Each structure stands twice: as structure tokens, then as C-alpha cells.
């Protein structure tokens, strides 16, 4: 009977050790991810970097919000009323209207990072259908 109890204690101890180790590793990974996010936000919100861009196919338009998809990743971007929109026609860039954007269009959106950590559109280029 003592052998059985000793085996159960050893197995229980090993399980507790493994669970504790797993939780410790998960905690460290979470801290590293948060540090990377903070550093990325600091870099992207510096006055040196004035904008970033997003590219993809338009999958949804709701009001002034556009959802882009590229290689399986989705991003929804809010566009202000004064967003500049351009379209390529016969290899030349021309001014266009926000309403010219259609689902399925490939676009490049220039974004600015907001102090809140969000982002807002600055300009859009609509690429010709391929």
C-alpha cells in the first residue's frame, strides 16, 4: 500500500511541477509580447515616422470604415471625411472619390497612428483590376 501512495505522490508532484513550469513560461511570453508591443508603438508613434501603409482587397465597406484582406489577415480602417483618394487610370494617378471604392478593389491605404494606439486613414490609392 505504501508503494502505491508513494507512486501517486510522485506523479502528483510531477504534474504540479509541469503545470507550474508551463504557467511560468506562459507568463514570461506574455511579458515579452507586451514589451514588443510597447516598443513597436513607441517607434511607430515617433515624429520621425509620419505614416504606415496597409494593402489588401476591400472585403467590406460600412460608412467610412473599410475592411481589407491580404493573405488571410483582415484590417478594418476608419477613413475621415477629408481622406484623399486616388485611382490609377491608363497608368496615371487621378483624384477619385471615396464612393469610387468598391468591394473587391485592391487598395493601398496610408495610415497614421493615433495617440490612443488606434489608427486612421490619410489617403487611399485604388489599383486597377488585374
> Where are the strands (E) in 1-130, listed by range?
52-62, 65-70, 73-78, 84-89, 92-96, 106-113, 119-126
CA dihedral sign, ordered 80, 84, 87, 91:
negative
- pTM flag (> 0.75): no
40-77 pLDDT, tens digit each = 666 666 676 777 889 999 999 999 999 999 999 999 99
- Domain 52-126 in this protein, CATH class: mainly beta
59-68 pLDDT, tens digit each = 999 999 999 9
Percent of the chain topping pLDDT 90:
42
CB-facing half-sphere around the CA of 103: CA atoms within 13 A: 5
Q: What is the DSSP string of 27-52?
A: HHHHHHHHHHHHHHHHHHTSSS---E
Amino acid at each position: 500500500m505504501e508503494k502505491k501512495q508513494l507512486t501517486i505522490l510522485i506523479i502528483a508532484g510531477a504534474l504540479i511541477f509541469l503545470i507550474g513550469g508551463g504557467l511560468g513560461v506562459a507568463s514570461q511570453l506574455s511579458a515579452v509580447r507586451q514589451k514588443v508591443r510597447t516598443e513597436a508603438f513607441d517607434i511607430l508613434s515617433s515624429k520621425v515616422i509620419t505614416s504606415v501603409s496597409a494593402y489588401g482587397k476591400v472585403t467590406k465597406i460600412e460608412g467610412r470604415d473599410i475592411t481589407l484582406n491580404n493573405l488571410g489577415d483582415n484590417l478594418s480602417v476608419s477613413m475621415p471625411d477629408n481622406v484623399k483618394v486616388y485611382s490609377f487610370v491608363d497608368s496615371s494617378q487621378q483624384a477619385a472619390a471615396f464612393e469610387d471604392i468598391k468591394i473587391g478593389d485592391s487598395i493601398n491605404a496610408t495610415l497614421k497612428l493615433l495617440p490612443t494606439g488606434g489608427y486612421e486613414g490619410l489617403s487611399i490609392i485604388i489599383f486597377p483590376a488585374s
